[in-house]
Amino acid sequence: MPVDEWIYYGRTLKLAILLNLVTVLVIILAFSTPYWLASTPDDLLPDPTFTNLGLWEVCLNGFHDQRHQYEVKFYGCKHILLEEYDIIRNELQPGFMVVTQVFYTFSFCGMLIALLFILMFMLCINDYYRVSVLRWLAIDLVVSGGLGAIAVIVFGANGDGRDYMPEWEHNQLGWSYGLAALGVILQWINGVLFWVESRIVRRREISSEKQQFPMERNV
């Protein structure tokens, strides 16, 4: 987009694009960091067997399967889908965890699609299609935020419950989960801003068309 065109667009679009960059960073951090759930050691539990986990990584410290059918204990931070975790797969990834992973991944992909829409709008889209691109961008962000909200609600309702990780009284939602929730809110705000901008641009186009092609007055 040439500089003069960038100046032409208002504060709403500029704010939306800048806020979108912040949203991308927030969602990437939430998606990749292992602190959706974390244990809080204290005098009663100085050395918990579960340390923390995210969507795709779990940190354990002598974790043992609940029924103690195996002598294997797990240590360190590793990817949650590793084959060695198959014997505790149901404990690491119960149904609600799979739902959380799936829906937040969809939300993450929606965020990437939004970036493509923004690049299309700024670099290579004909003026005729810009309003449509802004509208689709807004819809994409609102839908992505909705998918992310499902993930956040499901995990928030079950992640720190007594039926998930051991020593549940010491487990609490972590900062990665907070970023995930913030990312959802920012996606919705971005969606509203881009929708507002699409209406502003459309009104400008209509005004410009009326000036270029004034209606002929009836004699």
Tens digit of each residue's pLDDT (9 = 90 or more) over 128-154: 677 888 899 999 999 999 999 999 999
Residue 75 lies in a domain: no
Tell me if 25 is assigned to some domain: yes
Helix (H) or strand (E) holding 114: helix 95-119
Number of folded domains that form the chain: 1
Backbone region of residue 145 per phi and psi (left: phi > 0; alpha: psi in -120 to 50; beta: other values) = alpha
Contact 166, 92 (CB under 8 A): no
* Residue 219 forms part of a structural domain: no
For the question of whether the overall pTM of this predicted structure is more than 0.75, the answer is: yes
**CATH code, 137:** 1.20.140.150
% of residues, the chain, pLDDT over 90: 48
Domain-located, residue 15: yes
Please indicate, yes or no, if residue 53 is contained in any of the structural domains: no
β partners of residue 7: none
pLDDT in tens, 118-131: 888 777 666 667 78
Is the residue at 59 inside a domain? no
**pLDDT tens digits, one per residue of 76-89:** 999 999 999 998 89
216 located within any domain:
no
CA distances from 24 to 21, 30, 119 (A): 5, 10, 14
In a domain, 85, yes or no: no
**Digit-coded pLDDT (tens) for 170-186:** 889 999 999 999 999 99
Structural domain for 128, as ranges: 3-40+93-208
Q: Sign (positive/negative) of CA torsion 184, 186, 189, 191? A: negative
Half-sphere exposure of 93 (CA within 13 A, CB side): 17
Mean pLDDT of the chain: 84
